[in-house]
Amino acid sequence: MRAGFISNEVKTGLRRNLTMTVALVVSVAVSLTLLGTALLMRAQVDRMKGYWYDKIEVSIFLCGNNSLAYTCTGAVTDAQRKAVKKKLTGLDPTVQDVFYESTADAYDRFKTQFKGSAIISSIEPDALPESFRVKLDNPANFDQVAEAVQSMQGVESVQDQRKLLDRFFQILTGLQSFAMAVAMAMLLVTILLVVNTVRVAAFARRRETSIMRSVGASNMTIRLPFILEAGVAAAGGAALASTTMILIKQFLIDGKLAPQWSVIAWVTWQDVLWIVPWIFIVGLSTAVGAASVSLSRYLRG
């Protein structure tokens, strides 16, 4: 098998089927971009879970003047507040830290979080309740803390931030699954396009392959140019998809999203560089595998 002969056959095949080759490159690029996006979303969800779940706190809101809970008979008293704190600190080691936040502190934090927003003017300074914010050794131990204090006088409600985050991550996971499903559908379309492209190329060059058989060329010699053509197109599509991933990280995430949402743990370049090899692996293996299978009918006899 001569490398020069194989190379010339590949170049000739790519020129003869330029339109279908371009279509194949675009199809591979689109499907692999969707796949890369799904993997990037998965990495983003994992990073956000690790970041936010580590910061999860239990918020224990104390009674105010207008509280309607059965444990409230008006605003929380000093004695009730001290009793709640004593109960919380007695739950060591489940409870790691207890932070008290007054109504004024809550309003200051609210203004910081929504700085520049019109919503600030609609909230009165005394509208936010005072609370204890509790850091747990494990977010799964929320029930233990809630059962200990939720029926105490002066406690209006107990909020588990994990439940709020779980709903948010369920939405993100759903979007990730949708993107992965679309990527799989596009990969199927790509496989069909590879099969069709290779068969058309093989049919157009059936005279050459017949001559090669008659002079004793091996099956591998006959089929390798077609497989390499599919591989070259897949490599081109994978390169475009990888470039798209890099551009998304550089200009969308780092350039737009990260500066505006600095509280979010965004994917890193390490995540992107982990995805890129998989894009090439999936693209090349899909194209080469589909091309090999589609050529089987031309190798009989």
pTM score above 0.75: no
User: Can you tell me which residue has the tokens 């609609």?
Assistant: 122
Would you say how long the chain is, in residues? 301
- The pLDDT value recorded for residue 206 is 67
Q: Which residues contact 72 (CB under 8 A, 6 or more apart)?
A: 63, 64, 153, 154, 156
Bridge-partner residues for 135, per DSSP? 57, 97
Tokens of 249: 């990280």
Residue type, 219: N
Distances from the Cα of 247 to the Cαs of 142, 197, 250, in angstroms? 41, 30, 5
Q: Which residues contact 211 (CB under 8 A, 6 or more apart)?
A: none
Q: Which residues contact 294 (CB under 8 A, 6 or more apart)?
A: 194, 195, 198, 199
Tokens of 254: 């780092």
- The pLDDT value recorded for residue 282 is 93
**How confident is the prediction along the chain (301 residues), in pLDDT tens digits per residue?**
466 656 776 676 667 777 888 888 998 999 899 899 989 988 888 888 777 776 677 889 999 888 888 999 888 999 999 999 999 999 888 888 899 999 888 888 888 877 776 777 777 777 888 999 898 887 778 888 888 998 999 999 998 877 777 777 788 788 878 888 888 888 888 888 888 877 777 776 667 666 666 666 666 666 778 888 888 899 999 999 999 999 999 999 999 988 888 778 899 999 999 999 999 999 999 999 888 887 776 555 4
Nearest C-alpha neighbor of 88 from the set 50, 57, 119, 53: 57
Tokens of 290: 């589909």
- φ, ψ (nearest 5 deg) of residue 137: -70, -25
- The pLDDT value recorded for residue 301 is 44
The alpha carbon torsion through 248, 249, 251, 256 (nearest 10 deg) reads: 110
Q: What is the DSSP code string of 238-283?
A: HHHHHHHHHHIIIIIIIIIIHHH-TTS----HHHHHHHHHHHHHHH
Tokens of 144: 């233990």
Let me know if 50 is exposed, middle or buried by CB neighbors in 10 A (0-12, 13-18, 19+). exposed
User: Can you tell me which residue has the tokens 């131990």?
Assistant: 141
- The pLDDT value recorded for residue 209 is 66
* Ordered domains of the chain (ranges, CATH): 3-52+166-299 (no CATH), 55-163 (3.30.70.3040)
